[in-house]
């Protein structure tokens, strides 16, 4: 095997692609060649490096130096000074928080889901296999009965990362005993504003998701899986398609996987950008080619889902936990996180922090750690005002919540949710009314229109907020009316979308009633 003295990681994801990282990469490779360093330095395309807001970045090993805001001039200088002469170009480098830099499982972050992201080439199945990839599948197929796979997942206490936190093993166990054709569906329609973790998981480690879907299929006796990816995620789609093709070539998908009796295939379905299609029954309707409206539950998808057949729907992050659980066992998994919320959680940190991006930390990590340790604190020496946690359908968490362990149960006690894991951090200058208006514009735009509370409630609240904003002929009871509508929407809407506005509205009023003129 060839030994290189230095490795450069180029993080290819949707954002860096838009920033023309491919052009920078070409220049880098040309410069390396020009300087005769081809045999010494290897450029690796990986998934996201987890650092955002700094233009095109790359990570140079063994020093572990992040270079940011790269362009042609900077690349030329870095190649000459750093790669050729071994002098780090200090002025181009950035220093993300130590905790965030650590990409290994031993560091402060606990990387189960993201353990390969940013380290391997997502287009090369061998990279995944070299990191124990498809070991869980081999173990399950040849050493475990389907029921044992379910038991292990049950024992791990893994809970759905899509928002509701439903126990994954239990979900599998509802569908497993039903006879006949069944389906596995992966919800990769990540639509919660400020959330991009599933995209980066797919772009950085696609085979982990494929392996998890095969394992789920084996566990419940399904032979077909669908990955529903939102259409805007072009790179995710391309990388997943490539990974499926490779897995087929390796006999990991298709008939008689690894020469066992088990056959399984995966198909990708593209979403058309409707937020409500992240709701599992609307997603199923969309896969069937229909208008993405939610179905009435019960029956739940586990009993009657895609094409009327039992269907297990899980989120990308949830699924990506499964291979490690199977390889290392439930007991190993349970050492991370809290008693009832085990494992890790991937957060996307954004807003007024120094280092926006992706982190994976144990369940129960506090909001303070997420913002100040991993996010590098508030930008520009401002005060922390509030964070919107869980996406648009999440709640505002103020200073009093900074030290509450973040997991399903603790947040539940405060009528907050983990939701999508988006942490939108706001500094003292943010106008909460602006944020609420923006959120209501979002819900109003994304309502599917099927049920009247959501269809009419959203625009009515939006209109009232705009009246408040422009001080237009106010009666004084506007907030009371808004809360009453949002409460009725929570009680009577068909799906989670219409039930959502109450969370940000009531939590905003709790913290900022005075500011909002309540």
Partner 1 sequence: MNNMVKIKINNIEVEVEKGTMLLDAIKVAGFDVPTLCYHEDLEPTGGCGVCVVEMKGAPTLKRACCTPIDGDGIEINTFSEKVKKARRTVVELILSDHPDDCLTCIRNGNCELQSLAEELGVRENRFEKIYTEKEIDESSSSIIRDPLKCIKCQRCVQVCQEVQEVAAIDMIQRGFDTIMGLPFEMGLADTVCINCGQCISVCPVGAIYEKLNEKDVWDALSDPKKHVIVQEAPAVRVAIGEEFGMEPGTITAGKMHSALKRLGFDKVFDTNFSADLTIMEESTELIGITKHAISTGDMSKLPIITSCSPGWIKFMETFYPNLMNNVSTCKSPQQMFGALSKTYYADKEGIDPGNIVSVSVMPCTAKKYEAQRPEMRASGYQDVDFVLTTREFARMIKLAGIDFANLPDVIADSPMGEYTGAATIFGATGGVMEAALRTGYELISGETLPSVDLKMVRGMDGVKEADVEIPGLPFPLKVAIAHGLGNARKILDKVSKQIEKDRKSEYHFIEIMACPGGCVGGGGQPYGSSIAIRAKRACGLYNEDSTMLTHRKSHENEQIKQLYKEFLGEPNGEKAHHLLHTKYTRRDDI
Q: Give whichever of 46 and 499 is closer to partner 1, judged by the CB atom.
A: 499
Q: Least distance in Å: CB of 451 to partner 1?
A: 5
Q: Give whichever of 407 and 446 is closer to partner 1, judged by the CB atom.
A: 446
Q: Give whichever of 48 and 493 is closer to partner 1, judged by the CB atom.
A: 493
User: What is the C-alpha separation between 367 and 349, in angstroms, rounded?
Assistant: 10
Q: Least distance in Å: CB of 495 to partner 1?
A: 10
Burial of 433 (0-12, 13-18, 19+ CB in 10 A): middle
Per residue, the 3-state secondary structure of 242-295, as one string, reads HHHHHHHHCCCCECCHHHCCCCEEEEEEEECCCHHHHCHHHHHHHHCCCCCCCC
User: What is the C-alpha separation between 154 and 168, in angstroms, rounded?
Assistant: 7
Q: Least distance in Å: CB of 458 to partner 1?
A: 7
Q: Give whichever of 310 and 457 is closer to partner 1, judged by the CB atom.
A: 457
Q: Least distance in Å: CB of 472 to partner 1?
A: 11
CB count, 10 Å around CB of 184? 29
User: What is the C-alpha separation between 97 and 112, in angstroms, rounded?
Assistant: 20
The residue with tokens 């889901």 is 113
Q: Least distance in Å: CB of 304 to partner 1?
A: 12
Q: Give whichever of 403 and 484 is closer to partner 1, judged by the CB atom.
A: 484
CB count, 10 Å around CB of 37? 17
Q: Give whichever of 328 and 460 is closer to partner 1, judged by the CB atom.
A: 460
Q: Least distance in Å: CB of 305 to partner 1?
A: 17
Taking alpha carbons only, the member of 302, 301, 348, 343 closest to residue 323 is: 343
CB count, 10 Å around CB of 378? 20
Query: What string of DSSP letters covers 405-440?
Result: B-SHHHHHHTT---TT-EEEEEETT--HHHHHHHHH
Q: Give whichever of 63 and 480 is closer to partner 1, judged by the CB atom.
A: 480
The residues that bridge with 362 in the sheet, in sequence order, are 344
Q: Least distance in Å: CB of 453 to partner 1?
A: 5
Q: Give whichever of 378 and 451 is closer to partner 1, judged by the CB atom.
A: 451
Q: Give whichever of 203 and 279 is closer to partner 1, judged by the CB atom.
A: 279
Structure tokens at 203: 């772009």
Q: Give whichever of 156 and 499 is closer to partner 1, judged by the CB atom.
A: 499
Sign of CA dihedral 508, 420, 366, 54: negative
- Phi-psi category of 277—alpha, beta or left, where left has phi over 0 and alpha has psi -120 to 50? alpha
Q: Least distance in Å: CB of 291 to partner 1?
A: 7
User: What is the C-alpha separation between 357 and 173, in angstroms, rounded?
Assistant: 35
Cβ–Cβ < 8 Å for 13, 48: yes
Q: Least distance in Å: CB of 502 to partner 1?
A: 10
Q: Least distance in Å: CB of 450 to partner 1?
A: 6
Compute φ and ψ for 226, nearest 5 degrees. -120, 135
3-state secondary structure of 348: strand
Q: Least distance in Å: CB of 457 to partner 1?
A: 6
Q: Give whichever of 175 and 450 is closer to partner 1, judged by the CB atom.
A: 450
Q: Least distance in Å: CB of 444 to partner 1?
A: 6
Q: Least distance in Å: CB of 169 to partner 1?
A: 22
Where along the sequence are the contacts to partner 1 (CB under 8 A)? 274, 291, 296, 298, 444-453, 455-460, 463, 481, 484-485, 487-488, 490-494, 499
Q: Give whichever of 149 and 448 is closer to partner 1, judged by the CB atom.
A: 448
Compute φ and ψ for 144, nearest 5 degrees. -130, 145
User: What is the C-alpha separation between 226 and 231, in angstroms, rounded?
Assistant: 14
Q: Give whichever of 353 and 417 is closer to partner 1, judged by the CB atom.
A: 417
The residue with tokens 């990506």 is 320
- Cβ within 8 Å of residue 474, ≥6 positions away: 467, 468
Cβ–Cβ < 8 Å for 345, 363: yes
Asked if the bond preceding 260 is cis, omega within 30° of 0, the reply is: no
User: What is the C-alpha separation between 478 and 487, in angstroms, rounded?
Assistant: 14
């Amino acid at each position: 095997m060839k030994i290189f003295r230095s490795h450069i990681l180029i993080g290819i994801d949707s954002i860096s692609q838009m920033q023309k990282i491919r052009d920078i990469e070409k220049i880098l490779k040309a410069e390396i060649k020009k300087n005769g360093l081809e045999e010494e330095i290897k450029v690796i395309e990986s998934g996201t490096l987890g650092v955002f807001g700094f233009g095109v970045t790359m990570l140079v090993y063994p020093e572990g130096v992040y270079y940011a805001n790269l362009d042609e001039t900077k690349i030329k200088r870095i190649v000459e000074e750093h790669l050729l002469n071994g002098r780090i170009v200090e002025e181009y480098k950035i220093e993300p928080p130590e905790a965030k830099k650590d990409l290994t499982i031993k560091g402060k972050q606990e990387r189960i889901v993201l353990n390969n992201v940013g380290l391997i080439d997502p287009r090369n199945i061998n990279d995944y296999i070299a990191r124990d990839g498809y070991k869980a599948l081999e173990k399950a197929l040849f050493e475990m009965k389907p029921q044992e796979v379910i038991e292990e997942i049950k024992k791990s206490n893994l809970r759905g990362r899509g928002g509701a936190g439903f126990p994954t093993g239990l979900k599998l166990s509802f569908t497993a005993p039903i006879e006949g054709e069944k389906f596995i569906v992966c919800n990769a329609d990540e639509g919660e504003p400020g959330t991009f973790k599933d995209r980066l998981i797919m772009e950085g480690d696609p085979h982990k998701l494929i392996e998890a879907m095969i394992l789920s299929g084996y566990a419940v006796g399904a032979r077909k899986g669908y990955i529903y990816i939102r259409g805007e995620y072009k790179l995710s789609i391309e990388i997943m398609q490539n990974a499926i093709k490779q897995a087929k070539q390796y006999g990991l998908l298709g008939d008689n996987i690894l020469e066992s009796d088990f056959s399984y295939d995966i198909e990708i379905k593209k979403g058309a950008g409707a937020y409500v299609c992240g709701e599992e029954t609307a997603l199923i309707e969309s896969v069937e080619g229909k208008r993405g409206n939610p179905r009435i539950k019960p029956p739940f998808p586990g009993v009657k889902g895609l094409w009327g057949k039992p269907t297990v729907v899980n989120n990308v992050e949830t699924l990506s936990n499964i291979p490690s659980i199977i390889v290392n066992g439930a007991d190993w998994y349970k050492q991370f996180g809290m008693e009832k919320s085990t494992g890790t959680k991937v957060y996307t940190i954004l807003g007024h922090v120094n280092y926006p991006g992706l982190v994976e930390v144990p369940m129960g990590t506090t909001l303070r750690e997420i913002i100040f340790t991993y996010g590098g604190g508030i930008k520009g020496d401002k005060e922390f005002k509030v964070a919107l946690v869980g996406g648009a359908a999440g709640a505002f968490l103020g200073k009093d919540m900074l030290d509450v362990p973040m997991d399903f149960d603790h947040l539940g006690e405060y009528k907050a949710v983990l939701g999508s894991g988006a942490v939108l951090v706001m500094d003292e200058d943010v106008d909460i009314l602006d944020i609420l208006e923006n959120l209501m514009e979002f819900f109003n735009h994304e309502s599917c229109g099927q049920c009247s509370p959501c269809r009419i409630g959203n625009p009515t609240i939006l209109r009232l907020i705009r009246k408040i904003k422009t001080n237009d002929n106010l009666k004084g009871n506007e907030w009371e009316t808004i809360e009453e509508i949002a409460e009725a929407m929570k009680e009577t809407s068909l799906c989670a979308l219409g039930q959502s506005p109450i969370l940000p509205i009531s939590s905003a009023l709790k913290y900022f009633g005075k500011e909002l003129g309540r």
